[in-house]
Amino acid sequence: MPFREGPLGDLKVPLTWTAAVALIVAVVIAVAFLLADRRETLQDHAYGVTRQTVDTVSKPVSGVIAAPGRWTGLGLDFARSYFFTASENRRLKAEIADLRHWRDQALALQDTNDRYKSLLGLKTDPPIPMASARVVSDSRGPFANTRLADAGSEKGVLVGNPVLNERGLVGRIVGVSRGASRVLLLTDIASRTPVMIDRTNARAILTGDGGPNPKLEYLRGVDPIQEGDRVVTSGDGGVVPRGLPVGAAVKGLDGRWRVVLFADDAAIDFVRILLFKDFAQLADEKQLQTRTLPPVTTEDPQTSILSAPAPIAKPPAAPATTAPAATSTPKPPPPKPAAPKPAAPKPAAPRPVTPTPVVGAPQ
C-alpha cells in the first residue's frame, strides 16, 4: 500500500531539521578527518588518540565494505573453474604426458651414466690396460653365440683378449679386424674357460652348451663345490688373468653343476676388452731385468770347475821418491836362491846273459 496510507502517513518532518542533522553529521566527519591528518608536534597525545580511534572504527567498516568484492571474486573463480574444467583437464593431461616422456629419458640417461661409471671403475690387480667398446650386433643360434663389438686392431685388441661388462666376464675375442672384433660368449658351444671355486680353489673347466648356464666339468677334489659358491677365472693356461668374476654355482636339473653368469644381470651392450697378452704383462719389469749371479763356491775353490777364477791382484807400484843420498838407508840384497841338489845316478840296466856252448855235448 502507499506510504501515505500507512500509520506513518501523517508524520511530517520539517525540512530545516533534516538539513541541520545532515550538516552536523558532515561537520563531524570533516572534523574527524582533519584531526586524523594533523601534523602538529605540540599535541602529539591528542593526535595519537584521535588517529587510534579512527583506525579502530575504520577497520571493521573497511572489512565489511570489502567483503562483497572479495566474495564476488571467489564466486567468479569458482564459476570459471567449474565451467572450464574440461579444458583444464586436457591441459593437465598433455603436461603430464610431456613430463612422463622427460622422466623416462632422465631415468635412461641415469642408468647409462651409472653403467659408464661401473665400466670405468673396473680395475685389475696388477693393472691391465683396457679398451672400451659397444656391442653393435648379436648373433644367436643353436651352435653359435657371439657378439660384434666396435673396437678392433686400431685399439690394440688381439685374439684371445677377455671381454667383461660391469658385472663380470662375458667371453673372449676370437676374431679381430680394423674397427670391429668378434666376441665368443661363455655360453657358446665352442667356449672353454679354466675357472676355479673361490672358496676351495678347486679347478674346473667352464664349458658352454648353447644354454644360458654353462657346465662345470673336470672338477677335482673331495666335495669341492657347494650351492652358491662364487666362481672366478683360475688363470690356468695363460688364457685369461686370474680372479675375474664369472658367476655362482648351481645344481642343474640333470644333476650336473652349472654356473649362473654374473654378466647376465645386465645388458651386454657396453663392454671392456682387457688387452691381456700373457702373464709377463703382470710381472714387474724390474724383476725381469737380468741380474748378475754370485759365483758358486765349494769347500776347495781351487779344485772346483764351477767356481770363477779369482783375479790376480797386482800390488800397486811404489811412488818414486827423491830423498837425499845422505839420509837414504841401503836396502838389503835379496836372498840368493838355493843351489839345486845333484840328482841321484840312475842304476845301469842289466845286460842279457847268453848261454856258452859245451864242447862234446850231444846235439
Cell readout for 37 is 591528518
Does residue 126 have a cis bond before it (omega within 30 degrees)? Answer: yes
Q: Is the pLDDT of residue 101 over 80?
A: yes
Region of residue 255 (phi > 0: left; psi between -120 and 50: alpha; otherwise: beta) = left
pLDDT for residue 272 is more than 50? yes
Pairwise pLDDT comparison (81 vs 226), residue with the higher score: 226
Q: Is the pLDDT of residue 282 over 70?
A: no
The percent of residues in the chain predicted with pLDDT above 70, rounded, is: 63
Q: Which CATH class is domain 130-281?
A: mainly beta
Residue 120 has pLDDT above 50, yes or no: yes
Q: Which three cell numbers stand for residue 36?
A: 586524523
What is the three-class DSSP state of 339? Answer: coil
Work out the average pLDDT over 323-332.
Answer: 47
pLDDT (0 to 100) of residue 157? 94
CA distance 122 to 132: 11
pTM assigned to the model: 0.51
User: Residue 129: pLDDT above 70?
Assistant: yes
The per-residue pLDDT for range 40-69, each reduced to its tens digit, is 544 555 556 666 776 776 677 677 777 777
User: What is the per-residue pLDDT for 186?
Assistant: 94
Instruction: Give domain limits for the chain.
Output: 3-78, 130-281
Beta strands in 63-103 (DSSP E): none
